[in-house]
């Protein structure tokens, strides 16, 4: 079975190019264009990993992250932000994000982070069981 990644990103061109990149790498990609839609998909589908844009039109990424944790999601989360100097990135990791990546996104860096997050999540689950 393919590893599933949910991308939550309201900018459609960015969403499409991320989806293409990840599909090329052999992942199954789920897409959401708003925080609410992403949250629902995440809790229903339980993807292994979520790429979460911090700036969304309805709910911001940090709130999505908090609600994911409240809903007992154990998806690994990587935050995408244009502004890594802000406290947002720090708040994201404090709220359970695995890591964050700066926009514009460098594909190679993103793929490294994704692999690392997936490995970490797997280890964590092995420890738990
Ligand atoms: Ca955005």
Q: Is 88 in a helix, a strand, or coil?
A: helix
Residue 36 Cα to ligand 1 midpoint, Å, equals: 13
Q: Say what the pLDDT of residue 117 is.
A: 97
Residue 61 Cα to ligand 1 midpoint, Å, equals: 9
φ, ψ at 11 (rounded to 5°)? -85, 115
Residue 53 Cα to ligand 1 midpoint, Å, equals: 6
Cα–Cα–Cα angle for 98, 101, 106, nearest 5°?
A: 135
Residue 9 Cα to ligand 1 midpoint, Å, equals: 6
For each of the chain's 129 residues, which pLDDT tens digit applies? 899 999 999 999 999 999 999 999 999 999 999 999 999 999 999 999 999 999 999 998 999 999 999 999 999 999 999 877 777 778 888 888 999 999 999 999 999 999 999 999 999 889 988
Q: Residue 8 is inside which H or E element, if any?
A: strand 4-8
Residue 100 Cα to ligand 1 midpoint, Å, equals: 14
Helices (H), 25-106: 35-45, 61-70, 87-94
Cα–Cα–Cα angle for 30, 32, 38, nearest 5°?
A: 95
Residue 56 Cα to ligand 1 midpoint, Å, equals: 5
Entry pTM: 0.94
Residue 74 Cα to ligand 1 midpoint, Å, equals: 23
Residue 120 Cα to ligand 1 midpoint, Å, equals: 27
Residue 127 Cα to ligand 1 midpoint, Å, equals: 35
φ, ψ at 124 (rounded to 5°)? -60, -40
Residue 12 Cα to ligand 1 midpoint, Å, equals: 9
Q: What is the DSSP string of 109-128?
A: HHHHHHHHHHHHHHHHHHHH
């Amino acid at each position: 079975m393919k590893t599933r990644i949910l991308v939550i990103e309201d900018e459609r061109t960015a969403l499409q190019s991320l989806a293409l990149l990840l599909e090329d790498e052999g992942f199954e990609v789920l897409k959401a264009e708003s925080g609410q839609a992403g949250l629902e998909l995440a809790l229903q589908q339980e993807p292994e990993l979520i790429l979460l844009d911090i700036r969304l039109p309805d709910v911001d990424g940090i709130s999505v992250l908090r609600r994911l944790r409240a809903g007992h999601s154990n998806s690994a989360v990587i935050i995408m932000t244009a502004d890594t100097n802000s406290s947002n990135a720090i708040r994201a990791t404090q709220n359970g994000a695995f890591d964050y990546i700066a926009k514009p996104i460098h594909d190679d860096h993103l793929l490294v982070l994704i692999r690392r997050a997936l490995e970490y999540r797997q280890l964590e689950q092995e420890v738990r069981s």
